[in-house]
Amino acid sequence: MWRLAWRNLWRQKARSLVTASAVALVVLSTLLFFGLAEAMKNGMFQVLTERAGHLVVTRAGADEAREFDAHLIREAARVEAALREVAGEGELAVLLEVPVLASGGSRSRGIQLVGLRQTPGLERQFAQDYLSAGRLPDPDSLDEIVLGEALARALRVDVGEVVYIFAPGTEGLGAGAYTLVGLLDFPEAALEGRTAYVSLAAAQELAAPEAATRFQLHLPDLHRITDEDRLEQVRDRLAQPLGPELHVKTWREAEPGLATLLDLVDPIMLVFNGLGFVLAGLLVVNTVYLSLAERIREFGVIIALGADRWRVMRMVISESLVLVLTGTAVGTALGLGLIARLAQGFRFPNALTEYTVEFGIPAVMYAGLTTGQLVITILFAVGTALAAALWPAWVAGRLQPVEAMRHVT
């Protein structure tokens, strides 16, 4: 049956080649779309984790609390030491976030002041990504500050001028004067207009000595969203030594809205890829039906000689499957080869890199393909072959031998 289906298809080589090529192109496009969608998800994953960390440690119940004290993690040095011991080669950032009033020469604005201490690797990456003028505060300085460009414009201050910070009701000095040493350019205008950074020591002196509000742990070489299993293992190892008063969250728990957005990428891609297979299915229907129309007399003779009508229908379905599976095999081989190349990392053309970085997309992207996506693509192809063969097979099964043998093409 399969050999006969193969021979029948190649009676019209040009038509069969065009249809098989169309199927191969759709399969290749589907795998490529899946691969690029994974690259985009991996890119968003990198951006999120570079900013917020792969794992975040906060005080238990801090998400629902409104009081500043409820967010404080006391004895921050002890917690930091415990994190470093468990994390091993991971990079660590310690933050103290304080709601304050910032004042320039003639304007004031309520903002969030972030006291920040990072490992050297994170500090270099932060400066590379966001620093647009000047420099970052010295880790040991108590009187240096950097502002978002929008916030600096709002306060009418420039590099070298003084910014006054007021933090009433806190446990530290509650007020201080800081020299503006740098400006930050964030992709989000809202963040740029309400955030300022000082050293962790300066923020602790201002508002909460020896305390922090957040620890961010960055794991090395974790570029793909499919590598998340490592996060669960590290989180479980951290939970025990830190105790119940602290909460260890993965990036998904820390940014649930963005995690949900990433999860929507696959369903959207399924819809678009399904439309591609519908178009390919129409080509398969055309090829199989034309092949049927050219052989109506043959089918009439076969039925007259006693062939079962279901056998005739199976012959038509077999031709559709052979045609689609041939194209699928070629498209899959090309698609897997291309994705394997892109999985090593790829860059957008230089003309686009500036714009992609501006929108927070990493300069280097990593394509990927899951086993489920490959299986879905093949099932789409097989489903297309079966759906495309239903009508021609139904027509072939209802042929009357005498009328079919009289048919003239």
What pLDDT does 408 receive?
A: 47
In this prediction the pTM is 0.66
Mean predicted confidence (pLDDT) in 194-217: 91
Tens digit of pLDDT for each residue in 104-149?
877 899 999 999 998 888 888 888 888 999 999 998 899 999 999 9
- The predicted structure's pLDDT at residue 255: 72
Query: Of the candidates 36, 33, 35, 14, which has an alpha carbon nearest to the alpha carbon of residue 25?
Result: 33
Predicted pLDDT of residue 28: 86
Residues 216, 403: Cα–Cα separation, whole Å: 78
Which comes out higher in pLDDT, residue 4 or 331?
A: 331
Instruction: Express each pLDDT in 216-244 by its tens digit.
Output: 888 777 767 766 677 777 777 777 767 77
- Of residues 266 and 294, which shows the higher confidence score? 266
* Report for 15-19, 196-200, 391-395: range of highest mean pLDDT: 196-200
Give the pLDDT mean for 167-193: 88
- Please name which of 286, 288, 293 lies closest in space to residue 407, comparing C-alpha atoms: 293
Predicted local confidence at residue 14, as pLDDT: 73
Angle at 194 between CA 189 and CA 197, to 5 degrees: 110
Banded model confidence at residue 270, pLDDT cuts 50, 70, 90: confident
CA–CA separation, 333 and 318 (whole Å): 22
pLDDT at position 345: 79
Please state, in angstroms and rounded to a whole number, the distance separating the CA atoms of residues 144 and 81: 26
* Higher-confidence position of 27 and 384: 27
Contact 215, 57 (CB under 8 A): yes
Residue range 313-365, pLDDT digits in tens: 777 777 777 777 888 899 899 989 998 888 887 776 665 555 555 555 666 77
pLDDT for residue 178 is more than 70: yes
The average confidence (pLDDT) of the chain is: 79
Q: Is the pLDDT of residue 284 over 70?
A: no
Q: What is the mean predicted confidence (pLDDT) over 304-315?
A: 69
* CB contact set of 213 (below 8 Å; sequence gap of 6+): 58, 59, 62, 71, 72, 73, 95, 96, 97
The pLDDT assigned to 71 comes to: 87
Spacing of C-alpha 81 from chain mean position: 32
- pLDDT at 54 (0 to 100): 78
Region 288-299 average pLDDT:
62
Instruction: Find the radius of gyration of the CA atoms of the chain.
Output: 32
- Residue 403 is predicted with a pLDDT of 59
pLDDT band at 189 (very low <50, low <70, confident <90, very high): confident
The pLDDT assigned to 163 comes to 94
What are the pLDDT digits (tens) for 21-57? 877 888 888 888 888 888 877 777 777 777 777 788 8
Higher pLDDT, residue 290 or 143:
143
Separation between Cα atoms, residue 144 and residue 180, nearest integer Å: 6
Q: Which residue did the predictor score with more confidence, 240 or 101?
A: 101
Where do the DSSP E strands lie in 130-213? 131-134, 144-148, 162-166, 175-184, 195-199
**CA angle (141, 218, 229) in 5-degree steps:** 165
Average confidence (pLDDT) over 263-269: 74
